[in-house]
Amino acid sequence: MDLIHLPPYSPKYNPIEQVWRTIKAKISRKFITSIEQLKFIFENEFKQVINNESYWKNWLWKFL
Q: What is the pLDDT of residues 6-20, one digit of tens each?
A: 777 777 777 788 888
pLDDT value for 63: 61
Alpha helices in 3-34 (DSSP H): 15-27
Q: What is the pLDDT of residues 1-58, one digit of tens each?
A: 787 777 777 777 777 888 888 899 999 999 999 999 999 999 999 999 888 867 677 7
The upper half-sphere exposure of residue 50, i.e. CA atoms within 13 Å in the direction of its Cβ, equals 9
Name the pTM for this structure: 0.65
Per-domain residue ranges of the chain: 17-24+33-63
Q: Please state, in angstroms and rounded to a whole number, the distance separating the CA atoms of residues 30 and 33.
A: 10
